[in-house]
Chains A and B, each alone.
Chain A
Amino acid sequence: MAALLPRLPKRIRLTPSSPTHWICRTCQQRRAFTPSSTSPQTQQQPPRPNQDEARTTHFGYETISETLKASRVGAVFSSVASNYDTMNDLMSLGIHRIWKDNFVRGLNPGIQGERKEGQRILDIAGGTGDIAQRMLDHATLVNDDKRTHVTISDINPEMLAEGRKRFGNSPYKLAKRVDFLEANAEDLSAIESASIDLYTVAFGIRNFTHKDIALREAFRVLKPGGVFACLEFTPQLSNPVLNGIYKRWSFGAIPLIGQVVAGDRDSYQYLVESIERFPSQGEFRDMIREAGFLIPGRNGIDEEGGRMGMGKGWEDLSLGIAAIHKGVKPV
């Protein structure tokens, strides 16, 4: 089962030459994973002039054509879908629940008091529905708002099927407060512009082929004043000793747990490699700003910058293993 994922031979990442394609500094400077014994082969690959349109991107530590990334990621998530929640518990030792609770509580979905229309939330890459469930629970139980609506969107039908299973015939489903949409986050044409109050993406954006396009789509679908929130792993912890321990857990234990529990080492190897390739908190904050969002500050800390739309914009969780990024669409 583990050998079923089609694997291209490992090569050094080739930096795309086009200046319009945004790549983070870390990806450009990233040293080759495989030692120099493999580099003479790859550097002798002749340039192919008729394929200068074919751009490459990273898939974990592999370099693949951009057109292939979505399907490779698709294969990974189709494979992990049925054990997704169990594996999350095992990999993060249950801490992912605390992160997600913190994420939702910080966003405080749901509006108290009388309103004509309920809040509309769009949860991207939310296939299995754990964020959507928390959003609806928080809105209903904490803010007594029974009109909040969540659209769960995912590119992968298997993940979405898990979400449908989770909601089953629950009260939220019967009250039509949850919707499922199979879509690529880079193309949300099914959603009207300026129709969403809150756009969330938890542990999804690092798998997108073009994060900048997804951010621009997020900007488009949000109402003015709408909030973009992203919960994602960070590539490095700030403390080098803890980072060493954390990385060894990531690259040693996680693919092993994937092999034993889910029978799929390669998917979990991809997942930990994709965390390495994700931009750092500051770089990602800059990407969010480039998409047009105002960057808030943290509570009471960088208020001045936050008011100007130039706040810190992120909050580290668990010593920097994950981070919550937020952006606000200007009014």
Chain B
Amino acid sequence: MRATTTPSSLTRLLALPPPLRTRTFSVLSRPPPNYPGHIPLTILERLSLAAGSAIGSLAKPYRHDLIASLGETTAKPYFLSRLHRAMLNNPTGRRILRDRPRITSKSMKLEELRQMPENSVGRAYAAWLDREGVTPDTRDAVRYIDDPEEAYVMQRYRETHDFTHAITGLPVIIEGELAVKAFEFANTLLPMTALSLVAIVRLKKVERQRFLEVYMPWAIRNGLKAEEVINVYWEEELETDVEVLRARLGIEKPPDLRDIRKALREQKRRQKAEREGSGAGAG
């Protein structure tokens, strides 16, 4: 029997990192799922799904399930683990991981949220949902992450995305979504958030300019400066004042995108009316 020796610093330095994924199975013999809905993927499947999701979600942005699968297939090996560790390093994060709350239309009752005090997080969330015409529907379930706790972290990130919208006030249009994604990238470092910024090419020229001048700098600055938003226990913060929460997290409110767009539309309409008026007058 060999005596175990403590590794010298040299051997520690030369030791190989643990493998990205020890592939012990093929598509014909998948291991049993680790949680309901879990599908273990082989490396080739992960890469193909990532590539297909990336192209598909760029071509068809309404395919939220492709954005979801893009997130899941690109989050490992490092990024989701980093986010998980960030949760473990924070006492609130640890409580969230222990309680595993889920945000669904049942757990977030809109009628109650609308009754909450003025300027509270819950009220702002309900107001944002009403303004944008969306519901806290169950987001796509996480299926391609192997570790159940990391799968929960991913699910939590997905479900709290709407809260990020609510406290920043950014709308669901592409520009708003991209601003939130840029913020989330700076804050959570998930690769999917950075990859989805490729959708900048889909913006109109004016929107792109505005995004790059105003919203992207805001997002990066605030995402880096702010606390990890994943660690916010939203269910407990529903009655907190929005300004107080923003100050606590270190997030500035960005310029209201809907107002800017509305003002621009008004301006254009007025200009058009003037031109037609002067044209009719001259002709």
* A interface list, Cβ under 8 A from B: 1-3, 7, 9-10, 34-35, 37-38, 247-248, 251-253, 256-257, 259-261, 263, 265
Contact = CB atoms under 8 A, between A and B. Distances in A.
A171 to B, nearest CB: 35
Contacts of B42: 252
B14 interface: no
Contacts of B32: 10, 34-35, 37-38
Contact of B27 (A7, A251, A263): A251
Contacts of B53: 260
B62 to A, nearest CB: 10
Given A34-B32, A37-B32, A256-B52, A263 B141 contact: no
Interface in B124-152: 140-141, 143
A interface SS class: helix
Contact of A260 (B26, B27, B44, B49): B49
A314 B47 CA distance: 39
B49 A259 contact: yes
Contact of A251 (B28, B36, B49): B28
Interface residues of B, number: 23
Contacts of A37: 32
B45 interface: yes
Interface of B: 26-28, 31-32, 36-37, 39, 42, 44-45, 48-49, 52-53, 56, 63, 65-66, 69, 140-141, 143
Given A34-B32, A256-B49, A256-B52, A3 B27 contact: no
Nearest to A261: B56
Contacts of A260: 49, 52-53, 56, 66
B173 to A, nearest CB: 22
Given A2-B140, A3-B141, A247-B28, A263 B48 contact: no
Contact of B65 (A35, A247, A263): A263
A253 B26 CA distance: 12
Contacts of B27: 248, 251-252
A271 to B, nearest CB: 15
A3 B139 CA distance: 10
B140 A256 contact: no
Contacts of A34: 32
A1 B65 contact: yes
Contacts of B37: 3, 7
A10 B69 CA distance: 23
B219 to A, nearest CB: 29
Contacts of A1: 65, 140
B63 A263 contact: yes
Contacts of A2: 65, 140, 143
A3 B45 contact: no
Nearest to A265: B39
Contacts of A256: 45, 48-49, 52
Contacts of B26: 248
Contacts of B141: 3
B28 A3 contact: no
Contacts of A9: 36
Given A252-B42, A257-B52, 19 more contacts: A2-B65, A3-B37, A3-B140, A3-B141, A3-B143, A7-B37, A35-B32, A38-B32, A248-B26, A248-B27, A251-B27, A252-B27, A259-B65, A260-B52, A260-B53, A260-B66, A261-B56, A263-B66, A265-B39
A38 B45 CA distance: 25
B119 to A, nearest CB: 36
A3 B141 CA distance: 7
Nearest to A269: B39
A9 B44 CA distance: 27
Contacts of A252: 27, 42, 44-45
14 contacts: A1-B65, A2-B143, A3-B140, A34-B32, A37-B32, A248-B27, A251-B28, A252-B27, A252-B42, A252-B44, A256-B45, A259-B65, A260-B52, A263-B63
B151 to A, nearest CB: 13
A261 B42 CA distance: 20
A318 to B, nearest CB: 20
Contact of B28 (A248, A253, A257): A248
A259 B63 CA distance: 11
Contacts of B143: 2-3, 265
A33 to B, nearest CB: 8
Contacts of A253: 48
A249 B32 CA distance: 20
A248 to B, nearest CB: 6
A2 B26 CA distance: 22
A271 B215 CA distance: 46
Contacts of A251: 27-28
A133 B52 CA distance: 33
B140 A259 contact: no
A188 B283 CA distance: 74
Q: Which 9 interchain pairs have the tightest Cβ spacing?
A: A260-B52, A252-B27, A251-B27, A3-B141, A263-B65, A1-B65, A260-B56, A34-B32, A248-B27
